[in-house]
């Protein structure tokens, strides 16, 4: 039976089709989820991806309105029960707004939208979404954001560091002012991961700078099959 991974489309999502394509290339079955779909059980998905874009035009704060979309009530409930959830860029912002992940994403410190191929270091290879990588491995995936600066209070940052919950860190300079060069984090259980860079844009040699992003999706598929 093919593993089904849902990809939520909010008004303003841009990278939902890319995420579905990445899942298909990895060997899974992508399932399109509309933000008003509340019943994930009916869709029979094994995991969920919250894609990049500008949900609700980034009004109020990035992800602040999407956090109240009907589907998010069920996503939060299922994530707390162990379902794998990946938030990419705007999806990371939504995860922080729902408090599935701590902290927040703020305006880039240089106040400009940034788009570039970004080198990252894998800091945690034990999450559902990173088990196909090795700790210390360096990967390159695209980065594109205007509000990508990860911030949290010192106590939270110390907890993330001490518990090994920093999943990715920026290399070759900090692109957006994120505290401690943090590019992605996970929850305590390791089933929820959020990051600003876009692994779904690095799954094919023809279109991506690398295929380094494919490991996110193959990691989740292997974990789900094993469980």
Quick check: is 35 catalytic? Answer: no
Q: Which of 97, 123, 147, 200 is flagged as catalytic?
A: 200
CB–CB of 105/55 below 8 Å?
Answer: no
Residue 223: its H or E element: helix 214-226
Q: E-assigned strands of 12-165?
A: 29-34, 47-50, 85-88, 104-106, 114-122, 138-145, 149-151
Residue 168: its H or E element: strand 166-170
Residue burial 213-226, b: 16+ Cβ < 10 Å; e: rest: bbbbbbbbbbbbee
Q: At how many degrees (to 10) do helices 16-26 and 214-226 cross?
A: 60
The CA distance from 179 to 117, in Å, is 20
List residues bridging with 194 in a β-sheet. Answer: 87, 185
Q: Which of 89, 97, 123, 201 is flagged as catalytic?
A: 89
Distances in Å between the Cα of 194 and the Cα atoms of 42, 48, 169 are 25, 12, 12
Q: Which of 96, 97, 123, 198 is flagged as catalytic?
A: 198
Quick check: is 62 catalytic? Answer: no
Residues designated as active site: 89, 198, 200
């Amino acid at each position: 039976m093919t593993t089904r991974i849902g990809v939520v489309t909010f008004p303003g999502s841009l990278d939902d089709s890319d995420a579905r394509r990445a899942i298909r290339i990895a060997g899974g079955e992508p399932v399109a989820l509309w933000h008003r779909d509340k019943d994930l059980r009916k869709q029979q998905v094994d995991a969920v991806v919250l894609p990049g874009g500008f949900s609700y035009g980034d009004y109020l704060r990035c992800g602040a309105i999407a956090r109240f979309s009907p589907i998010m009530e069920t996503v939060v409930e299922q994530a707390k029960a162990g379902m794998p959830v990946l938030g990419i860029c705007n999806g990371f912002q939504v995860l922080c707004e729902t408090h599935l992940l701590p902290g927040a994403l703020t305006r880039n410190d240089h106040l400009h939208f940034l788009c570039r191929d970004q080198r990252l270091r894998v800091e945690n290879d034990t999450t559902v979404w990173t088990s196909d990588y090795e700790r210390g491995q360096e990967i390159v995936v695209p980065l594109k954001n205007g509000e990508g600066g990860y911030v949290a209070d010192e106590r939270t940052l110390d907890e993330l560091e001490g518990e090994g919950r920093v999943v990715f860190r920026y290399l070759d300079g900090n692109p957006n002012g994120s505290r401690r060069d943090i590019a992605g984090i996970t929850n305590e259980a390791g089933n929820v991961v959020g990051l600003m860079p876009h692994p779904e844009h690095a799954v094919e040699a023809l279109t991506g700078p690398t295929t380094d992003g494919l490991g996110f999706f193959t990691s989740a598929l292997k974990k789900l099959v094993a469980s």
